[in-house]
Amino acid sequence: MKLYTDADVDSTCLDGKRIAVLGYGSQGRAHALNLRDSGFDVVVGLRSSGKSFAKAEAAGLNVMEPNEAVKGATIVAFLTPDMVQKTLYESILDDIDEGATLLFAHGFAVHFKQISARADLNVVLIAPKGPGGLVRRQYEEGHGVPCLVAVERDETGDALTLALAYAAGIGGARAGVIETTFAEETETDLFGEQAVLCGGATELIVAGFETLVEAGYQPEVAYYEVMHELKLIVDLLHEGGLRKMHEFISDTAAWGDMVSGPRVVDEASREAMQSVLKDIQDGTFARNWIAENEQGMPEFRRRMQADLDHPIETVGKELRSRMDWLTE
Ligand code: NAD
Ligand code: MG
């Protein structure tokens, strides 16, 4: 594994240079503010018709239309939703300086060939391993969220130096920047969110809730058990891995974990994980997701609504309203 830290960074490569941040959502806001506070010349590129425009201006940033923002920029960071990056790239292409560096926070558009960058451009990845809110908060507190770095194309000879300077500017080099490839970052990121983090965890929670409720237990008790308490366990895992969790849970819980966990996540689940991974690797997932977007996302909305209409949401909303410390 190759790991870069602040000691490996030469930020002088960005002296007198400009960074254009396209998008001001979760990542865009954090990157723009951190880079500015690190002393870099930052412009934010947004549609003047969009909601983020006024927000970015209110934060004291220099905001303009994307095609204006990229003029004269050494680094152009694509921090809009993955599915709009292709159209956005095509609309600003003629305004991007020769020899500029296109930077992505996730490899989807490049790896699945939605964007084939002009021959003179560098293509790099700085992917923070955390949501934008955390990237900003950690930076403000003097820390940083670890990042991945990849160089897909180096036309100018300093693509990695520029990428690392950007990573340092958002605070990532304080925590360490691990070298990867666009393929590895894209495929592992999609697999993680589908099989384990978002998809796997929520299906596990809902299936556990339904099992208890169908067996006649009160939905409120089921909610506390399978949704609310998950955070306590995740925090222990996050801070200290399996060892810390085992130090804090009872012997009864640990024994139950070890004998029953593998009955729930069994060989069939592992085979399903392999099949999910294969769909990501061979482009099936990407093709379907791009097609879904082109059709106006009807299936996306239908499935989202089904999630929001689930009884665990009604019970959860009511119970959470009695725990006002949750929103502090
Ligand atoms: P987001 O949905 O939070 O933000 C979208 C921003 O893009 C908004 O400011 C919106 O106004 C702007 N936008 C939308 N369409 C636009 C257009 N056509 N032209 C200009 N601006 C436009 O996005 P996000 O979640 O921050 O994701 C940005 C990138 O970061 C993606 O590549 C994503 O995969 C990656 N990423 C996200 C996270 C995360 O925690 N959200 C983590 C790591 C990587
Ligand atoms: Mg789900």
Q: Is the CB of 61 under 6 A from ligand 1?
A: no
Q: Is the CB of 133 under 6 A from ligand 1?
A: no
Q: Is the CB of 32 under 6 A from ligand 1?
A: no
Place of tokens 């666009």: 182
Cα(first)–Cα(last) distance of the chain, in Å? 39
Supply angle C-alpha 55, 166, 11, rounded to 5: 125
Amino acid found at 116: S
Which pLDDT belongs to residue 17?
97
Q: Is the CB of 50 under 6 A from ligand 1?
A: yes
The whole-angstrom separation of Cα 280 and Cα 221 is 37
User: What would the pLDDT profile of 194-223 be if each residue is shown by its tens digit?
Assistant: 999 999 999 999 999 999 999 999 999 999
Residue 142: closest CA among 6, 286, 302, 328:
6
The whole-angstrom separation of Cα 199 and Cα 194 is 5
Which pLDDT belongs to residue 325?
87
Model pTM above 0.85 = yes
User: What would the pLDDT profile of 285-319 be if each residue is shown by its tens digit?
Assistant: 999 999 999 999 999 999 999 999 999 999 999 99
Among 24, 27, 189, which is best to mutate for testing ligand 1, by the most ligand atoms less than 8 A from CB? 27
126 Cα to the center of ligand 2, angstroms: 27
Annotation says 246 is catalytic: no
Which pLDDT belongs to residue 119?
98
CB 125 within 8 A of CB 182: yes
Ligand 1: which atom is nearest the Cα of residue 51? 11
Residues of the chain with pLDDT under 70: 328
HEC readout, the chain: CCEECHHHCCHHHHCCCEEEEECCCHHHHHHHHHHHHCCCEEEEECCCCCCHHHHHHHCCCEEECHHHHCCCCCEEEECCCHHHHHHHHHHHHHHCCCCCEEEECCCHHHHCCCCCCCCCCEEEEEEECCCHHHHHHHHHCCCCCCEEEEEEECCCCCHHHHHHHHHHHCCHHHHCEEECCHHHHHHHHHHHHHHHHCHHHHHHHHHHHHHHHHCCCCHHHHHHHHHHCHHHHHHHHHHHHHHHHHHHCCHHHHHHHHHHHHHHCCHHHHHHHHHHHHHHHCCHHHHHHHHHHHCCCHHHHHHHHHHHCCHHHHHHHHHHCCCHHHHC
User: What would the pLDDT profile of 145-159 be if each residue is shown by its tens digit?
Assistant: 999 999 999 999 999
Residue 201, CA distances (Å) to 191, 192, 197, 234, 276 in order: 13, 10, 5, 11, 15
Which residues make Cβ contacts (< 8 Å) with residue 200, sequence separation at least 6? 194
Q: Give me 24's structure tokens.
A: 């001001």
Please give the distance of CA 177 from its chain centroid, rounded to a whole number.
15
